[in-house]
């Protein structure tokens, strides 16, 4: 019996690193400082991570959050110990960076945003690529959105499994929504979208039916803010920020069916990564060892 059953594909964007140029008063050495205001500014003891890398501890914290555990800060002790699941999973993860952008600043910066306001999701609907400002379409978001109405989530899964069983198995809701849109004139899908409207769940109906606003974007994007468990990014202040590095890409890690069940029971749909970034599960696929060749290992970390 193999240890892992599936691969989890996690998409992230807007993951920022704030850098400040500091000078060591004793040696005169200039260096980039990557920690937050208020933390100990000791160049000799700081844990440096290259700009184009994501630390293994960040991946481990993603696994912890997904499975219902509290993340552990890298720079301060809060009395929590790393668990074997998050450590072993992070060590077997790979990362594919799709975007690295650099912006120079000369002032104190603040960051406050909600992921479903800034995230742009593109769906191929009615034969064209359409923009939705609703944020990423994930299985967890849809489930939480529909589950307060009895039978609505079950109705969705029945329709989705009928028209796109592979998409449902992989947790690929973009594929499911696009497939339902292609078949939207069928009687059962038309009945389902009518049920959504009658149940005050019109935003999802608008996506399936490709209802557009005057700008050609999917209608009622604001209605998506009603979806539950939208994680917010707290406001941070940084002084003397000289440079902001923003990363986007994909993290892939292996998981057993038991871990998948933990994620299903605990993960609210999306989480935050680094400063101002967010992540969500894009899809699952059957485990295979070749995934290790598709990306780069995260930056090493000495778990204690």
Per-residue pLDDT reduced to its tens digit, 259-291: 998 988 888 777 888 877 788 888 889 999 999
Lowest model confidence (mean pLDDT) among 6-10, 78-82, 222-226? 222-226
In sequence order, the 6+-apart residues with CB closer than 8 A to the CB of 45 are none
Q: Please give the C-alpha separations between residue 96 and each of 9, 14, 77, 124, 172, in angstroms, as whole numbers.
A: 11, 14, 30, 24, 19
pLDDT at 114 over 50: no
pLDDT at 167 over 60: yes
pLDDT at 20: 58
Specify which of 74-78, 127-131, 285-289 reaches the highest per-range mean pLDDT.
285-289
Contact 268, 144 (CB under 8 A): yes
* Average model confidence (pLDDT) across the chain: 76
Lowest model confidence (mean pLDDT) among 123-137, 230-244, 257-271? 230-244
pLDDT at 258 over 70: yes
| Residue 145 pLDDT grade (very low, low, confident, very high; cuts 50, 70, 90) | confident
pTM for this entry: 0.65
pLDDT at 133: 65
Contact 144, 229 (CB under 8 A): yes
Buried b (16+ CB within 10 A) or exposed e, 217-232: ebbbbebbeebeebee
**Model confidence pLDDT, tens digit, residues 21-57:** 555 556 655 555 544 444 444 433 344 577 778 889 9
Contact 5, 257 (CB under 8 A): yes
- The DSSP string of 34-93 is -SPTTS---TTT-----TT--BHHHHHHHHHHHTT-----SSS--S----HHHHHHHHT-
Helix, coil or strand: residue 294: coil
pLDDT at 24: 57
Burial environment of residue 153 by CB neighbours within 10 A (0 to 12, 13 to 18, 19 or more): middle
pLDDT at 251: 96
pLDDT at 106 over 60: no
State mean pLDDT over 238-243.
Answer: 55
């Amino acid at each position: 019996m193999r240890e892992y059953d599936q691969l989890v594909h996690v998409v992230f964007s807007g993951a920022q690193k704030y850098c400040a140029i500091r000078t060591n008063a004793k040696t005169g050495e200039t260096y980039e400082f990557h920690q937050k205001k208020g933390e100990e500014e000791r160049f000799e003891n700081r844990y440096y991570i290259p700009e184009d890398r994501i630390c293994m501890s960040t991946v481990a914290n993603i696994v912890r959050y997904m499975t219902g555990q509290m993340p552990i800060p890298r720079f301060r002790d809060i009395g929590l110990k790393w668990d074997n699941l998050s450590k072993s999973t992070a060590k077997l993860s790979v990362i594919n960076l799709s975007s690295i952008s650099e912006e120079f600043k000369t002032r104190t910066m603040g960051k406050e945003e909600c992921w479903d306001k800034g995230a742009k999701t593109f769906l191929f609907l009615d034969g064209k690529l359409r923009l939705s400002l609703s944020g990423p379409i994930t299985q967890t978001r849809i489930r939480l959105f529909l589950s307060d109405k009895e039978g609505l989530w079950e109705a969705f899964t029945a329709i989705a499994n009928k028209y796109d069983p592979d998409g449902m198995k992989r947790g690929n809701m973009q594929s499911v929504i696009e497939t339902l849109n292609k078949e939207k004139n069928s009687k059962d899908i038309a009945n389902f979208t009518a049920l959504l409207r009658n149940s005050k769940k019109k935003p999802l109906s608008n996506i399936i039916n490709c209802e557009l606003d005057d700008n050609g974007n999917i209608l009622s994007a604001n209605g998506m803010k009603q979806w539950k468990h939208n994680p917010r990014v707290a406001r941070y202040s940084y002084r003397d920020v000289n440079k902001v590095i923003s990363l986007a890409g994909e993290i892939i890690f292996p998981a057993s069916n038991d871990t998948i069940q933990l994620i299903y029971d605990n993960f609210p749909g999306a989480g935050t990564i680094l400063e101002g970034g967010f992540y969500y599960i894009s899809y699952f696929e059957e485990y295979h060892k070749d995934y290790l060749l598709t990306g780069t290992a995260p930056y090493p970390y000495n778990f204690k």
